[in-house]
């Protein structure tokens, strides 16, 4: 009896203590507990992505399940503070907690386990996907298929490669349908209409305001994209003929040098305005000089350190995956990892000596240096002001990789920017990477928001996908597609459930950031000529913004660097002004548009 009384007393004391926990104490506990569970999840997922087996998949799924359970428990506990006056930090922490998962699980252990297994399985199917046209001996993984898309100019070979890769997504479709049901149930349990509504709630504005904001930004840049599309279609007609690329129609998706036709830089040889005027073949120089993955990553590091950022920690070099191992299946999709909030940062990327991989590596280190900049913030603040900021950092640095910079590091000959023709060539090359991406960056989540809300039903997944591709991109499937296909699943971010509007926003923000950094550096020339390489004033301004993490609304972070509180495409328009004028002249008399543009 005495032991029971003591136990009851202890329980009462614990209950009293729990009841007396303030909102600020709860916020501190949330950060402590989630830091631990997110570290464990990151470690499990890292092993699964870099060593794909059924065992590592099971381990990652169980870790994901534990993470879902921890978030669900803390969200439930947070409801005790609903309607109470809260400090700004406590209120922000609770909001970030409730919107912190890309796919919250239902409050049911069985369904939580099912969701974790589905998420792991979809990524594993995608990552291990191969096209085997003539049996196992002919199997090609995604990197091999992507190289064919980038380099081949044989339309039949391109079509075969395109259809071969897209076929791997068919088996993902049943899992994705069930995933939507479970994730929507989880979002509804947090008070959201559906998962898309929850995603849009993470931008320090109402969901309706955010939807309107993305549309406003698209309307700013749509005329630029339409002009580039018109020119590109004409050049593709020169190469493949009007029978394959007709006037006034969407262009077949397999002709743009990219598996999803999201960026057109791989067909720059077809788009180049003035062939032979300037030498912009960085890939050839990387190969000639024997660049390997480490040297390319060191090159990227040297840009950041020139701005005053620190050297990467030794653990980065010891723990990152920079090349594809020969002894196992891995996920080669480039990504940056913040493992523990304390400086264990890594990238996962299969780097080859190509210009595209060089720019991607500089981009991934942007994530890494953002992660290193906000160390010391509470766990839920250890991320970007909004997800578009994270994606924009490395791309902002990419904009400073001008001909002058590339010549400085020995990857281009000096003087490639000396003529008007060379300038238009350079602008076309950047536009083929960045302007071409904008509609795709918007439509991926347009499709998912419709799927999550029920406006796009499972019976119409593929049809709705291609309606949006035609509407926004002016691009069409190269062969007939049916609902037996699941073409959205052939894009990594769909099976991995990675929100995509962040990329659309980042492709606009990077120009806004670039202009602000150039102003900080005292640059007074045309924006497209500016490189902040080696400028500590620009570097300090950049680091001051990055150090905020997500501790303040993104509008505050944007204002800290740019003086503005609204995302805006004006800097992008300024950057591409020479090309815009040139395209207007080139497109005179052409049948532009594709009959379905927004």
The 10s digit of each residue's pLDDT in 314-328 is 999 999 999 999 889
Provide the number of structural domains found in the chain: 1
Residue 376 lies in a domain: yes
Q: In sequence order, what are the residues at sequence separation of 6 or more whose Cβ sits closer than 8 angstroms to the Cβ of residue 443? A: 468, 469, 471, 472, 473
76 is a domain residue: no
Q: Cα angle vertex 473, ends 476, 384, to 5°?
A: 130
Residue 554, in any domain of the structure: yes
Distance between CA atoms of residues 124 and 80, nearest Å: 39
Q: What is the pLDDT along the chain (598 residues), one digit of tens a residue?
A: 444 444 444 444 444 444 579 999 999 999 999 999 999 999 999 999 999 999 999 999 999 999 989 998 999 999 999 999 999 999 999 999 999 889 999 989 999 999 999 999 999 999 899 999 887 788 999 989 999 999 999 999 999 999 999 999 999 999 999 999 999 999 999 999 999 999 999 999 999 999 999 999 999 999 999 999 999 999 999 999 999 999 999 999 999 999 999 999 999 999 999 998 876 789 999 999 999 999 999 999 999 999 999 999 999 999 999 999 988 999 898 999 999 999 999 999 999 999 889 999 999 999 999 999 999 999 999 999 999 999 999 999 999 999 889 999 999 887 655 689 989 998 999 999 999 999 999 999 999 999 999 999 999 999 999 999 999 999 999 999 999 999 999 999 999 999 999 999 999 999 999 999 999 999 999 999 999 999 999 999 999 999 999 999 999 999 999 999 999 999 999 999 999 999 999 999 998 999 765 5
Does 23 map to a domain?
Answer: no
Dihedral angle, C-alpha 160, 165, 171, 174, nearest 10 °: -110
Q: How many CA atoms lie within 13 A of 587 on its CB side?
A: 22
Contact 111, 69 (CB under 8 A): no
Do the Cβ atoms of 139 and 131 come closer than 8 Å? yes
- Report the pLDDT value the prediction gives residue 416, as an integer from 0 to 100: 57
Q: Which domain holds residue 559?
A: 288-319+351-417+502-576
Q: With respect to residue 308, please indicate whether it lies within any of the assigned structural domains.
A: yes
pLDDT of residue 6: 43
Is 166 among the domain residues?
A: no
Q: What are phi and psi of 375, to 5 degrees?
A: -55, 135
Tell me what pLDDT residue 476 has: 97
- pLDDT on residue 10: 42
Question: Tokens representing 552?
Answer: 């303040």
Does residue 564 fall inside a structural domain?
yes
Nearest partner of 344 among 372, 374, 306, 379, judged by Cα: 372
- The candidate with the shortest Cα–Cα distance to 372, out of 333, 400, 337, is 337
- Asked if residue 368 belongs to a domain, the reply is yes
**DSSP letter string over 63-101?**
HHHHHHHHHHHHHHHHGGGTTS---HHHHHHHHHHHT--
Alpha carbon 269 to chain centroid distance?
26
């Amino acid at each position: 009896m005495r032991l029971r009384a003591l136990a009851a007393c202890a329980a009462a004391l614990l209950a009293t203590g729990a009841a007396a926990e303030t909102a600020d104490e709860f916020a501190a506990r949330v950060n402590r507990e989630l830091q631990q569970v997110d570290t464990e999840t990151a470690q499990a997922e890292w092993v699964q992505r870099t060593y794909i087996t059924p065992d590592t998949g099971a381990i990652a799924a169980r870790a994901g399940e534990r993470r879902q359970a921890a978030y669900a428990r803390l969200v439930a506990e947070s409801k005790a503070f609903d309607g109470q006056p809260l400090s700004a930090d406590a209120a922000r922490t609770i909001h970030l907690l409730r919107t912190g998962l890309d796919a919250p699980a239902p409050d049911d252990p069985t369904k939580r386990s099912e969701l974790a297994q589905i998420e792991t399985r979809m990524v594993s199917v995608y990552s291990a996907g191969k096209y085997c046209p003539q049996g196992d001996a002919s199997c090609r993984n995604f990197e091999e298929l992507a190289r064919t898309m980038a380099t081949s100019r044989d339309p039949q070979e391109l079509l075969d490669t395109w259809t071969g890769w897209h076929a791997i997504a068919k088996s993902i479709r049943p899992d994705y349908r069930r995933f939507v049901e479970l994730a929507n149930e989880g979002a509804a349990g947090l008070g959201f209409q559906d998962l898309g509504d929850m995603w849009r709630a993470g931008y320090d504005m109402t969901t309706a305001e955010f939807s309107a904001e993305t549309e406003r930004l698209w309307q700013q840049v749509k005329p630029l994209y339409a002009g580039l599309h018109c020119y590109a279609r004409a050049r593709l007609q020169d190469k493949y003929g009007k029978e394959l690329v007709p006037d006034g129609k969407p262009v077949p998706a397999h002709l743009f040098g990219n598996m999803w036709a999201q960026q057109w830089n791989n067909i720059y040889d077809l788009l180049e305005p003035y062939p032979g005027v300037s030498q912009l073949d960085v890939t050839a120089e990387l190969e000639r000089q024997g660049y390997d993955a480490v040297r390319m990553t060191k090159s990227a590091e040297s840009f950041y350190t020139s701005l005053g950022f620190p050297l990467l920690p030794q653990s980065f070099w010891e723990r990152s995956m920079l090349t594809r191992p020969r002894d196992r299946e891995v996920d080669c999709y480039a990504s940056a990892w913040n493992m523990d909030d304390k400086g264990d940062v890594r990238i996962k990327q299969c780097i080859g000596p190509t210009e595209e991989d060089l720019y991607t590596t500089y981009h991934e280190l942007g994530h890494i240096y953002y992660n290193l900049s906000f160390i010391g913030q509470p766990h839920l603040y250890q991320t970007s002001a909004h997800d578009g900021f994270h994606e924009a950092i490395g791309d902002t640095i990419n904009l400073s990789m001008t001909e002058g910079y590339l010549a400085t590091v020995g990857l281009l000959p000096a003087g490639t920017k000396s003529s008007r023709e060379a300038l238009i060539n350079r602008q076309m090359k950047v536009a083929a990477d960045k302007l071409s991406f904008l509609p795709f960056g918007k439509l991926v989540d347009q499709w998912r928001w419709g799927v999550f809300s029920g406006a796009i039903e499972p019976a119409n997944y593929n049809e709705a996908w291609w309606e949006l591709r035609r509407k926004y991109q002016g691009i069409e499937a190269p062969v007939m597609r049916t609902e037996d296909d699941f073409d959205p699943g052939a894009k990594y971010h769909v099976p991995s459930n990675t929100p995509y509007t962040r990329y659309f926003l980042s492709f606009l923000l990077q120009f806004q950031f670039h202009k602000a950094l150039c102003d900080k550096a005292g640059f007074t020339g045309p924006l497209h000529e500016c490189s902040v390489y080696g400028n500590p004033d620009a570097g300090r301004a950049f680091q001051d913004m990055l150090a905020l993490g997500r501790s303040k609304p993104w509008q505050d972070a944007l204002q800290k660097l740019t003086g503005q509180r609204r995302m805006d495409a004006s800097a992008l328009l300024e950057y591409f002004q020479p090309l815009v004028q040139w395209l207007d002249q080139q497109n005179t008399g052409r049948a532009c548009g594709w009959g379905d543009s927004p």
